[in-house]
């Protein structure tokens, strides 16, 4: 049977999903019919094993031919299904971006009963920054140097929560800070920092006895004065994000991969979003939008009508490299000899990951790639501290992510890492997330939901 759907412009996946899920298609006492639905508006034809109340239809049908009855019934079912799809095309919330921020907001809203759609340009979650981080769930000991005490306290609270809620994905790991004669941060400075860290919610710290230094994965001991050990946590950013989006999907969020946000026409009550899916332009209506597009945040904002003012930002690239060698004792927190920045040497999936750098970036965020100079800087830092050097040709892989930092003339290392939520007074229903931490994604979500008035479970009267 061929069904022509001439004037429909709906995502194919939605039609399939609704057909498959529809109770109408799962009645008992049925006979199987193959239905071919042809979408005239696009070059796509698919076949679906379709079950109708064929026998019942035949009895009811005035026509002598059983096929006519089945056809009528099929038409009715499809009409019901299409109507449902149309209703579902009106959302309470559209989230642009399936990075850690977008998926966390989508999950929270879907779990509260809101109709949520997520648009992600790539073919899966966390293909932007959220798979290119240092994979640390931490308060950020080094942020104490730039006085970001509130951020450190908030992140340490979040660390505690994540250790409890995701014990298989977020694990405490010992961090080692070696202090040499040449180290710029002196022993007493680090001890003060670690004490403050502990008071803000970190764990206790200690120093490793000299007789145990030889157990530290080949760390050079020449000129070594002290090795501090404290605790922070490590995760798998990609798996964490993927887990959250799975939960969002299970809670009812519609997730579209390969869906490129093209623009939105908004009033303070509603937005009509256009996006490209499988090369076809689609539209959805939504009451609110969260722009969680990470380093694309201002590119996405430019596509709104009326225009929305954006914040002045700078993209700062951070590169990591993965090299052979298994670290047995945990993470090493090193001071780069070149510029005294903090660089981590971490165990990662049976190898060693080293990062990160801070290089100002301009251009398309999708094209960010590790620079040769960054790779050499990381190798040089690692080799400065460990006995057995790693050569350039041993680098297994490298990747780069982009931080969204407030524009400033100051050094990126000392700039605020706070998450900024931004919206224009003209359009309070469109909220953009600037910057932020993997660690504090839950806290950011709570702030977003509060600002959009989505904290409470949906009632019949809210955001329809």
> Position of tokens 């042809």?
38
Kindly state whether residue 93 participates in binding ligand FAD, applying the rule CB under 6 A.
no
Size of the site for ligand FAD (CB under 6 A): 38
The distance of closest approach from Cβ of residue 268 to ligand FAD in the complex, given in angstroms and rounded to an integer, is 22
Kindly state whether residue 202 participates in binding ligand FAD, applying the rule CB under 6 A.
no
The distance of closest approach from Cβ of residue 232 to ligand FAD in the complex, given in angstroms and rounded to an integer, is 10
Which span (17-25, 36-44, 131-139, 204-212) binds ligand FAD, by CB under 6 A? 131-139
Closer CB to ligand FAD, 107 or 437, in the complex:
437
Coil, strand or helix at 426: coil
Kindly state whether residue 370 participates in binding ligand FAD, applying the rule CB under 6 A.
no
Closer CB to ligand FAD, 120 or 154, in the complex:
120
- Name which position in 401, 432, 445, 463 contacts ligand FAD (CB under 6 A): 401
Kindly state whether residue 294 participates in binding ligand FAD, applying the rule CB under 6 A.
yes
Kindly state whether residue 130 participates in binding ligand FAD, applying the rule CB under 6 A.
yes
Kindly state whether residue 122 participates in binding ligand FAD, applying the rule CB under 6 A.
yes
The distance of closest approach from Cβ of residue 417 to ligand FAD in the complex, given in angstroms and rounded to an integer, is 8
Which span (6-14, 23-31, 35-43, 395-403) binds ligand FAD, by CB under 6 A? 395-403
Closer CB to ligand FAD, 429 or 439, in the complex:
439
At residue 337, what are phi and psi to the nearest 5 degrees? Answer: -65, -25
CB neighbours (10 Å) of residue 31? 13
Kindly state whether residue 291 participates in binding ligand FAD, applying the rule CB under 6 A.
no
- Interface residues for ligand FAD in 337-366 (CB under 6 A)? 356
How far is CA 365 from each of CA 10, 285, 299, 375, rounded to the nearest angstrom? 30, 27, 10, 19
Kindly state whether residue 271 participates in binding ligand FAD, applying the rule CB under 6 A.
no
What is the full DSSP assignment across 160-228? HHHHHH-TTT-EEEEEEEEEETT-SS-HHHHHHHHHHHHHTT----EE--GGGGGGSTTB--TTEEEEE
Kindly state whether residue 310 participates in binding ligand FAD, applying the rule CB under 6 A.
no
| Contact indicator for 237, 438 with CB cutoff of 8 Å | yes
Which span (28-36, 208-216, 244-252, 398-406) binds ligand FAD, by CB under 6 A? 398-406
What is the full DSSP assignment across 3-51? EEETT----HHHHHHHHHH-GGGG-SS-EEEEEEEEETTTTEEEEEEEE
Kindly state whether residue 96 participates in binding ligand FAD, applying the rule CB under 6 A.
yes
Coil, strand or helix at 40: coil
Q: How far apart are CA 168 and CA 233, in angstroms?
A: 12
Q: How far apart are CA 430 and CA 433, in angstroms?
A: 10
**Angle at CA 255, nearest 5°, toward 253 and 256?**
155
DSSP E strands in 324-415: the ranges are 331-335, 342-348, 351-355, 359-361, 397-406
Which span (76-84, 93-101, 198-206, 375-383) binds ligand FAD, by CB under 6 A? 93-101
Q: Output the CA torsion sign for 388, 393, 399, 402.
A: positive
The distance of closest approach from Cβ of residue 156 to ligand FAD in the complex, given in angstroms and rounded to an integer, is 12
Kindly state whether residue 437 participates in binding ligand FAD, applying the rule CB under 6 A.
yes
Note the residues at the interface with ligand FAD (CB under 6 A).
Answer: 96-102, 119-122, 127-130, 132-136, 260-261, 292-296, 300, 318, 356, 401-403, 433, 436-439
């Amino acid at each position: 049977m061929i069904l022509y759907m001439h004037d429909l412009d709906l995502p194919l996946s939605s039609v399939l999903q609704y057909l498959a899920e529809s109770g109408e298609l799962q009645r008992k006492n049925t006979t199987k019919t193959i239905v071919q639905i042809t979408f005239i508006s696009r070059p796509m034809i698919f076949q679906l094993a379709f079950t109708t109340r064929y026998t019942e239809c035949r009895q009811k049908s005035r026509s002598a031919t059983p096929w006519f009855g089945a056809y009528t019934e099929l038409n009715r079912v499809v009409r019901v299904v299409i109507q449902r799809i149309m209703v579902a095309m009106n959302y309470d919330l559209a989230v642009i971006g399936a990075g850690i921020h977008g998926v966390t907001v989508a999950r929270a809203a879907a779990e509260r009963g809101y109709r949520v759609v997520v648009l992600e340009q790539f073919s899966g979650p966390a293909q932007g920054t959220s798979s290119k981080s240092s994979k640390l769930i931490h308060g950020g000991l080094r942020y104490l140097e730039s006085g970001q005490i509130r951020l450190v306290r908030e992140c340490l609270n979040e660390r505690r929560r994540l250790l409890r809620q995701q014990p298989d994905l977020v694990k405490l790991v010992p961090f080692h800070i070696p202090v040499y004669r040449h180290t710029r941060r002196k022993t007493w400075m680090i001890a003060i920092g670690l004490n403050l860290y502990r008071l803000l919610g970190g764990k206790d710290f200690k120093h490793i006895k000299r007789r145990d230094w030889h157990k530290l994965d080949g760390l050079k001991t020449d000129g070594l004065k002290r090795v501090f050990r404290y605790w922070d946590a490590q995760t798998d950013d990609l798996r964490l994000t993927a887990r959250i989006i799975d939960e969002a999907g299970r809670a009812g969020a519609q997730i579209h991969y390969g869906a490129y946000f093209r623009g939105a026409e908004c009033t303070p009550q509603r937005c009509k979003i256009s996006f490209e899916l499988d090369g076809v332009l689609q539209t959805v209506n939504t009451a609110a939008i969260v722009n969680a597009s990470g380093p694309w945040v201002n590119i996405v904002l430019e596509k709104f009508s009326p225009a929305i003012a954006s914040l002045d930002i700078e993209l700062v690239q951070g590169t990591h490299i993965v090299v052979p060698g298994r670290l047995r004792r945990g993470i090493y927190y090193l001071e780069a000899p070149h510029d005294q920045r903090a660089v981590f040497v971490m165990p990662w999936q049976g190898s060693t990951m080293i990062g990160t750098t801070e290089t100002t970036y301009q251009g398309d965020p999708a094209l960010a790639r590790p620079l040769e100079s960054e790779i050499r800087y990381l190798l040089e830092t690692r080799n400065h501290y460990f006995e057995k050097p790693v050569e350039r040709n041993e680098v297994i892989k490298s990747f780069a992510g982009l931080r969204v930092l407030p524009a400033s003339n100051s050094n990126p290392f000392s700039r605020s890492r706070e998450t900024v939520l931004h919206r224009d007074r003209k359009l309070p229903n469109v909220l953009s997330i600037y910057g932020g931490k993997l660690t504090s994604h839950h806290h950011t979500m709570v702030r977003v939901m509060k600002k959009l008035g989505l904290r409470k479970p949906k009632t019949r009267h809210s955001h329809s």
